[in-house]
Structure formats: C-alpha cells, structure tokens
C-alpha cells in the first residue's frame, strides 16, 4: 500500500479516522474529506505531511468532481476510494396511538440520509472511476451496514441507503471488473465510535447483548477490513459484502 493514493470520505472521526490511520501506517498517501474541517485537519496532521484534507460535501456533485480532479492533478493517480461518509436520522415510518397518527418520519430526514449515504456514494464513485480506468485499475470500498442486510426498527431511511449501497456495489463490480477495478462493501455491526459511546449505558449493554462475541466492534476492526479489501491479498474479491459485526443478530 506504500505511496498508493487513498481517498476517504467522512474521514474526520470514527471509522473514517481509524481507516485513515490504518492506511497511513502502511505508507499510503491518505486524502480525507469531511464537513468538519477542524477535526479533519487535525486527523490529517496526525498522519504526517503526506496526508491531505479537503472540506467537501459529498451531496454536492460539482464539489465532489472538483475534489477528485484536484487530487488526481496533485497526486497523479487515485488508487483507492473508501466511501465512508454517512449520517442517521432515525424515526418510525408512522407512530400510532389509539388509532391516531401521532408522529412519522419527516420527509426532510429521509431525503437527507438518502442524499448523503446513497447519492454521496454515487457522486464520489462516478467522479473517481474515470481516473482509475485510465490508470488501469483501482479499488472502490463502500460503507454498508448489517442493517442493510437484515433491516432495523426505526431506520427506514438508513436501511434503505445501506441496502442500496450493497446493490450499487454489485452492479459496479460487474460493470468495472473489465477495467481491473474491484468494488466491495463492508457491513459493520455495532461499533464503538465517538457517537455511539455517547449513548446511555443501558443501550450499549443491549448492543453487546445482541452481539455473540460480547463486545462492540472497534473502529479499527472496520478499518482492518477496508485495508484487507484494498490490498493485493484480496485481488480476486469483488462484488462482496464483508460483515464485520461480531455475529450480531438484528431484531426489533
């Protein structure tokens, strides 16, 4: 992985940050993007002078294209894209009480999650792939989730995007294989990111209880999966969904 150019969206914190560190340790030239400029710049600085940070909104197609164009111009190539950026806005489809509608998922929350988690992956991949085709290959890695496979209560929008990411991954593996571009997805289970660890201990205990290995995943666990799939050791793997979930059982 030494000197390979690795783009990571949502790289300022959590799994994205852990992934940046993992690739940086291997000598990759890590390029991060995020909306959180302060955290993103701090992460890039921690990786050394070869790392770069850009403030990019993955829902903005023109901004994404400008980012890809600049990275290709500065670095000369793009070897790996990790589509990690994502958000949640949970809520039930409808909530009824005594036969009356009392609450429902807001359309704005549905649209926001789809825009970032699904269209953002589309935008970034479409911007980067032509460079990979011209250079003779590359790797696309997409963040899905175990809920994209099994569903989860109160996450219509999030589950739809993570299932959609799996679908796009399989389509792109078919379309881009002839150009020596491998496309895979990683489906994490409950992972101890900064956001998750702010949840009440009772909720965290419930997560551990539903995970056969008895613990939450660490961001490094997911980063290691991305690193493996990007490496030559995974050179015959494409169109796959790798669950990194401790054997989780999703229920209601």
The confidence score (pLDDT) of residue 250 equals: 65
Q: How confident is the model over 160-173, as pLDDT tens digits?
A: 999 999 999 999 99
The answer to whether the CB of 229 falls within 8 A of the CB of 184 is yes
CA pair distance 167, 161, nearest whole angstrom: 10
**Phi–psi pair at 29, nearest 5 degrees:** -90, 100
The confidence score (pLDDT) of residue 251 equals: 55
The confidence score (pLDDT) of residue 206 equals: 87
| Number of neighbours of residue 44 by Cβ within 10 angstroms | 23
Q: Which residue ranges in the chain fall short of pLDDT 50?
A: 252
pTM: 0.94
- Burial (0-12, 13-18, 19+ Cβ within 10 Å), 47: buried
Domains of the chain: 5-244 (3.40.50.720)
The confidence score (pLDDT) of residue 28 equals: 97
Task: Dig out the tokens for 39 from the structure.
Answer: 């955290």
User: Which residues are known to be catalytic?
Assistant: 158
Q: What is the mean pLDDT of the chain?
A: 95
Instruction: Match 């909720």 to its residue by tokens.
Output: 203
The confidence score (pLDDT) of residue 192 equals: 87
User: What is the sign of the dihedral through the CA atoms of 84, 88, 92 and 93?
Assistant: negative
Q: How confident is the model over 198-250, as pLDDT tens digits?
A: 888 988 898 898 898 999 999 999 999 999 999 999 999 999 999 999 998 76
């Amino acid at each position: 992985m030494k000197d390979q150019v690795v783009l990571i969206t949502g790289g300022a914190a959590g799994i994205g940050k852990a992934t940046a560190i993992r690739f940086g340790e291997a000598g990759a030239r890590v390029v991060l993007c995020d909306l959180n400029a302060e955290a993103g710049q701090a992460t890039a600085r921690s990786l050394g002078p070869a790392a770069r940070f850009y403030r990019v909104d993955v829902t903005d197609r023109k901004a994404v294209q400008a980012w890809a164009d600049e990275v290709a111009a500065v670095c000369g190539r793009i070897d790996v894209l990790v589509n990690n950026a994502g958000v949640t806005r949970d809520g039930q489809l409808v909530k009824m009480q005594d036969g009356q509608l009392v609450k429902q998922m807001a359309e704005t929350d549905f649209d926001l999650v789809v825009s970032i988690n699904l269209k953002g992956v589309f935008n970034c991949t479409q911007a980067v792939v032509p460079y990979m085709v011209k250079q003779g290959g590359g790797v696309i890695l997409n963040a899905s989730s175990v809920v994209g496979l099994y569903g989860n209560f109160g996450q219509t929008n999030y589950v739809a995007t993570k299932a959609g990411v799996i679908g796009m991954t399989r389509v792109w593996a078919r379309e881009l294989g002839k150009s020596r571009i491998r496309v895979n997805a990683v489906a994490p289970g409950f992972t101890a990111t900064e956001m998750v660890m702010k949840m009440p201990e009772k909720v965290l205990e419930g997560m551990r209880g539903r995970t056969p290995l008895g613990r939450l995943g660490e961001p490094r666990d997911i980063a290691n999966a991305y690193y493996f799939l990007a490496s030559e050791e995974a050179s015959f793997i494409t169109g796959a969904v790798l669950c990194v979930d401790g054997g989780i059982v999703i229920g209601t």
